[in-house]
Amino acid sequence: MAKPTAPRGLARQRVLDAALALFAAHGVHGTSLQMIADRIGVSKAAVYYQFRSKEDIALEVLRPSVEDMARVIRIADALPDVEARRAVIVSGLIEMTVRYRELAVFFHGDPAIDQLVHSEPEFDVVTTRIRELLEGSDCTVADRVALSVFLSGVCKAAADPGLADVDDGELHRILLELSGRILAPLATESAAAGASRSPSASRSG
Amino acid sequence: MAKPTAPRGLARQRVLDAALALFAAHGVHGTSLQMIADRIGVSKAAVYYQFRSKEDIALEVLRPSVEDMARVIRIADALPDVEARRAVIVSGLIEMTVRYRELAVFFHGDPAIDQLVHSEPEFDVVTTRIRELLEGSDCTVADRVALSVFLSGVCKAAADPGLADVDDGELHRILLELSGRILAPLATESAAAGASRSPSASRSG
């Protein structure tokens, strides 16, 4: 093929790196294509040569982390046990979040990103399956709240500028322990379960 | 005074209500003064008559919750014991977060809001003091990570659209229990403390 893939690949990566830094500082909404172009010293037209839109850039910035999670899902789905699958997803999310610390800040928090992820079928499949594996078939109100605290809390903490001095290994260890506590069954759960289920109903997960 | 405070107060509140709904859906960056004006069916000039800028509107939307937290801080500061002060702040933050559920979504997540809060001295004092009271004088790396998970996780969960069906009382109870778990000393903490402190150093909180 005559297409100059190597230089184009390099130019693409420069756009993605610049976009990531700007998204982290200003959010996706607060970043313009012009700001991205200015940061790497090229024209807006040069950026448009590589990407259709700012949303297109944001999706490409996220793509490696989503592809990693798709692999973790395949690993989890191969396991026969519900609890084991869930543990793989929890551990995989923490690993990914720590590895992509700069990404985490806008992946979990920016409403523009939520809309974007849902608009890309390939990404939506991954986030939906993560949720299914985490929720299992028997999810109480307390479980749902705990999952929400886990997803926002752990992912945002990884990206907290106040924790930038904490090294990846230590952060990973602490987040794993916190996640175990957050996702363990709650005392209030039995009360909530009693209110929403027949006491005699047997649970088959 | 001849100033027509009552109708102006009403018009102000309509702007604030419209702005809150738009901020929650699109973030502060993604919301324009024109969108706010359109939503309540007035001109942009009419909005400018009430507020200097979009940032001014965002600060006013946040003001009641910040004033509530200032009161909680006064209550906490009156207590002699460090742990008791901390418990009041944790409980106060959860109570405030549940009461202002729609606010929480953009208070914790939107980078524009962070910048805005720090730019308003009156607000900055409150957020700084909350952090001081939560951190105490002897804060390990694990404590700092746990605090970050608590602040993002609990506050974002309250605003999670997926939990909109959970009533305030139940949400409050579950978040309080989760916070207790998140903020309890970690097993990894002793290792971290050992690495950063002399083992013989006595802790005076």
Q: What is the ipTM of this complex?
A: 0.78
Average pLDDT estimate for B165-173: 95
Q: Does residue B3 carry a pLDDT above 90?
A: no
**What is the rounded CA–CA span in Å between residue A127 and residue A132?**
9
Residues of B in Cβ contact (< 8 Å) with A159: none
**Distance (Å) from the alpha carbon of B167 to chain A's nearest alpha carbon:** 10
Can you read off the two tokens belonging to residue B160?
């999670």
Kindly report the backbone phi and psi dihedral angles of residue B164, in degrees, each rounded to the nearest multiple of 5, phi listed first.
Answer: -60, -25
Average pLDDT, consecutive stretches of 10 residues, N- to C-terminus, chain A (205 residues): 56 92 82 94 94 92 92 95 93 92 70 81 92 89 94 86 92 95 75 44 40
Residue B150 has what pLDDT? 94
Boundaries of every domain in chain B: 62-188
**Counting one residue from A and one from B, how many pairs have CB atoms under 8 Å apart?**
148
Q: Does pTM surpass 0.80?
A: no
Q: Give which of B148, B155, B167, B189 to mutate to test A binding, by max A Cβ within 10 Å.
A: B148
More confident residue, A101 or B39: B39
Query: Hey, are the CB atoms on B157 and A148 less than 8 Å from each other?
Result: yes
Which amino acid, one-letter code, is at A73?
I
Residue B109 has what pLDDT? 62
Check if the beta carbon of residue B194 is closer than 8 Å to that of residue B112: no
**What is the rounded CA–CA span in Å between residue A140 and residue A144?**
6
